[in-house]
Amino acid sequence: MNEPAWADRRPGEALFVVESVSFAYEHEKNQVLRDVSLRLHPGRFYGLIGPNGCGKTTLVDLLSGCKEAATGTIFLDGRRIGAIGKRQLARRLALAPQEFDVGFGFTVEETVMMGRHPHIGRFQAAGPDDWAKARAAMAALGILDLAARSVGSLSGGQKQRVIVARALAQDTPALFLDEATANLDVRHALHIFNIVRRLTKEGRMALAVAHDLNLAAAFCDYLFCLKDGRLVAAGEPSAVLTAEIIREVFAAEAAVAWNAYSGALQVSYRYFADNYSGHCSGNCSPLA
Amino acid sequence: MERMAHPAGGGRVMVIGAVLACLLILTIIISAGMGFVRIHPVDILRIIASSLSGNAEFSAHIEKTASYVLMDVRLPRILTAALVGAGLAVAGVVYQGILLNPLADPYTLGISSGAAFGASLALLINITALGQVSTPLFAFVGAVATLFVVMRLSSFHGQISAQTLILAGVIIGAVLSAGISLLKYLADEQVGVIVFWLMGSFAASAWPGVPPLAVGVAAGAAIAFFYGRDLNIMSLGRRSSDTLGVETAKIRVILLVTASLVTALCVAVSGVIGFIGLIIPHLMRFLVGPDNRGLIVASALAGAALLLAADTITRAALPVEVPIGVLTALIGGPFFALIFRRKLKARTYE
């Protein structure tokens, strides 16, 4: 197969192998994903970046078994992902989505305990181990004191932390975060990225869909960049987050430099168009 | 010891379940004694014991009329009312769970309209070929046909979503309502029979109807209970439940068909009785919490007790028999509104 130079290949080691996967919604011509190939290894924190509508969420859905690829194959531990039962799959991977429904007033603790579902037999009750893992996940996210609160009564940021705790309680080798920090303030976003980073250092694989390029640059070991359903760049943050790629993919002007204070690459955007365009003379109102 | 810290622990649910079960038995005994012929609770137990054991000695000193009234008139009606109450309440829990909508009830998908149309048709053309069972049979077929159409209409790419189901149910329900109006118009003088059936009644309940209803409701409740934990997780939405090991699409269809068949059975034997399937799941959710396993058990018991109590009121306590469907809505509506307001004030209900 004709793979580009950046393709990360270390045969036999990958947790996930994605082979030229394409996806389109039925009765629609536009392909959401086109010929995407990549490998995900244990012990790494991956970042998935790209503009809105580029297919990030669809890729996560394919990797987590929520959708099936039209063409191409995804292997998890060498097995075709479609051939793995939902329950088995849920023991291998967890997904923290951006949004979830919170109907019917389940408490924070009950919701986090749902993460243990794939580990508890149909006629079994939750064991001490399940409770311990759920409580550990709540403690890690700092929501132990919310345990008895109804999820529907929480703020957006608190809900988001419940989602992540629920995914952590699932205790899986692979973790997907689909913009799971989108509603969080800086402190909690950093906290979650630090937790996930620690989990990957312990040997788990994590993949986060990230809009904040600076967070992705600082925390991820490896970035995949999608545009219009194609994988246009992949590699270490320093290789992917260049001024050229950011201009090409996000249509934004940016400078990327090492920042000693943050200890990471820093993407600085040119915020004001008239700084450089200069062709606005006289009335500059966007509504004029 | 960790489990002790759990706020909605299993112990509390067990106690509430036991209390509700006692309440149901008490309601059955009280109801059996009420009516034109009053029967003492002790005599009721004696008559039942003697017919169960086949030993006439238990009820030797009791009048034969009392025995006849209890065993052949009241008991079938009592059991039918209780089973329908349980069935509608369980179906309500399941519909609210799979439609992710606390306003859903057993009739949201137009199942009741389908049954009503079938029954109206049978009454209008006066089908007696199958004797007593022709109206319930037509009602059941109408309900199942409606379910089939609604499911076909709402499935896209093999997927059924909550929104499309509700939408399809509303559309089909509206068409069927118009159809029923047409049948009523055509019925002319016979319209009273149709109207009376539509408002629901247990007056025609008899023993032959009890076993199929009991088997259907029990099987439906068992299936719903079996998938109770999956239903809990499905409340998080499709993406979450899929990645938590729940076969969301498959279980949604299984539960949808189960709840709809139970509803069809209930409507076929009793007509359209509203509010039980909406109120009971809500009341029980306040009592036992949102976990569907406890909710299904509690709702079945409470639904049975409440509908039986309502039927007993209309049968034995009121001077004229008010249609049961009217009574449940008249009592249930304001009661529900009251509790709803209280809970909203307390802000524990979302």
Q: What is the pLDDT of residues B244-280, one digit of tens each?
A: 999 999 999 999 999 999 999 999 899 889 889 998 9
Q: Which residues of chain B lie closer than 8 angstroms to A99, CB-CB?
A: 237
Rounded to the nearest integer, the mean pLDDT of chain B is 87
B148-154: list long-range contacts, CB under 8 Å, 24+ apart: B150/B109, B150/B110, B151/B253, B151/B256
Tell me if chain B has a CB within 8 Å of the CB of A123.
no
Residues 186-225, chain B, touching A (beta carbon < 8 A): none
Judge whether residue A251 has pLDDT over 60: yes
| C-alpha to C-alpha distance for A39 and A45, rounded to whole angstroms | 12
Per-domain residue ranges for chain A?
Answer: 1-92+173-252, 103-171
- The verdict on a CB contact (< 8 Å) between B245 and A86 is yes
A214 confidence band (pLDDT: 50, 70, 90) = very high
A10 confidence band (pLDDT: 50, 70, 90) = very low
Residues 14-33, chain A, touching B (beta carbon < 8 A): 26
Distance (Å) from the alpha carbon of A208 to chain B's nearest alpha carbon: 16
pLDDT number for residue A39: 95
Q: Which residue has the higher pLDDT, B275 or A167?
A: A167
Q: Give pTM, 2 decimals.
A: 0.88
State mean pLDDT over A79-106: 88
pLDDT number for residue A276: 52
B199 confidence band (pLDDT: 50, 70, 90) = confident
pLDDT number for residue B132: 66
User: What residue of B is the nearest CA neighbor of A58?
Assistant: B239
A88 strand-pairing partners? none
Distance (Å) from the alpha carbon of B311 to chain A's nearest alpha carbon: 30
A256 strand-pairing partners? A267
| C-alpha to C-alpha distance for A222 and A200, rounded to whole angstroms | 12
User: What residue of B is the nearest CA neighbor of A164?
Assistant: B240
Tell me if chain A has a CB within 8 Å of the CB of B340.
no
Tell me if chain B has a CB within 8 Å of the CB of A198.
no
Q: Which residues of chain A lie closer than 8 angstroms to B242, CB-CB?
A: 64-66, 86
| C-alpha to C-alpha distance for A105 and A107, rounded to whole angstroms | 6
Closest partner CB to A103 (pick from B6, B100, B157): B100
pLDDT number for residue B44: 87
Share of chain B above pLDDT 70, in %: 93
B6 confidence band (pLDDT: 50, 70, 90) = very low
Which residue in this structure is represented by tokens 């029990």?
B218
Q: Which residues of chain A lie closer than 8 angstroms to B291, CB-CB?
A: 106, 110
Distance (Å) from the alpha carbon of B246 to chain A's nearest alpha carbon: 6
Distance (Å) from the alpha carbon of A177 to chain B's nearest alpha carbon: 12
Mutation test of the interface with chain B: which of A60, A67, A101, A164, choosing the one with the most B Cβ atoms within 10 A?
A101
Closest partner CB to A104 (pick from B102, B240, B246): B102
Per-domain residue ranges for chain B?
Answer: 9-348
* Superfamily of A1-92+173-252 according to CATH: P-loop containing nucleotide triphosphate hydrolases (3.40.50.300)
Q: What is the pLDDT of residues A15-51, one digit of tens each?
A: 999 999 999 987 777 889 999 999 999 999 999 999 9
Q: What is the pLDDT of residues B209-228, one digit of tens each?
A: 899 999 999 999 999 999 99
Q: Which residues of chain B lie closer than 8 angstroms to A63, CB-CB?
A: none
Distance (Å) from the alpha carbon of A225 to chain B's nearest alpha carbon: 23
Distance (Å) from the alpha carbon of B252 to chain A's nearest alpha carbon: 15
Judge whether residue B126 has pLDDT over 90: no
Distances (CA, A) of B136 to A36, B142, B252: 57, 10, 27
- The verdict on a CB contact (< 8 Å) between A101 and B350 is no
* Tokens matching residue A262: 């943050």
| C-alpha to C-alpha distance for B313 and B320, rounded to whole angstroms | 10
DSSP B216-259: HHHHHHHHHHHTHHHHHHHTT-HHHHHTTT--HHHHHHHHHHHH
User: What residue of B is the nearest CA neighbor of A177?
Assistant: B240
Task: Give B9-348's CATH code, choosing from 3.40.190.10, 3.40.50.2300, 1.10.3470.10, 3.40.50.1860.
Answer: 1.10.3470.10
B281 close to B287: Cβ distance less than 8 angstroms: no
Tell me if chain B has a CB within 8 Å of the CB of A130.
no
pLDDT number for residue B148: 93
Sorted by sequence, the CB contacts under 8 Å of residue A102 that are 6+ apart come out as: A111, A151, A152, A159, B235, B236, B350
Tell me if chain A has a CB within 8 Å of the CB of B6.
yes
Judge whether residue A116 has pLDDT over 70: yes
Closest partner CB to A90 (pick from B237, B245, B290): B245
Other CB atoms within a 10 A radius of the CB of residue B306 amount to: 26
- The verdict on a CB contact (< 8 Å) between A91 and B236 is no
Closest partner CB to A114 (pick from B3, B238, B244): B244
Tell me if chain B has a CB within 8 Å of the CB of A68.
no
Tell me if chain B has a CB within 8 Å of the CB of A149.
no
Tell me if chain A has a CB within 8 Å of the CB of B11.
no
Distance (Å) from the alpha carbon of A131 to chain B's nearest alpha carbon: 7
Sorted by sequence, the CB contacts under 8 Å of residue B245 that are 6+ apart come out as: A86, A87, A88, A89, A90, A91, A117, A118
Distances (CA, A) of A129 to A170, B266, B319: 12, 43, 61
User: What residue of B is the nearest CA neighbor of A159?
Assistant: B236
* Tokens matching residue B89: 């309440």
Tell me if chain A has a CB within 8 Å of the CB of B347.
yes
Kindly tell me the sign of the dihedral angle through the C-alpha atoms of A134, A140, A141, A145.
positive
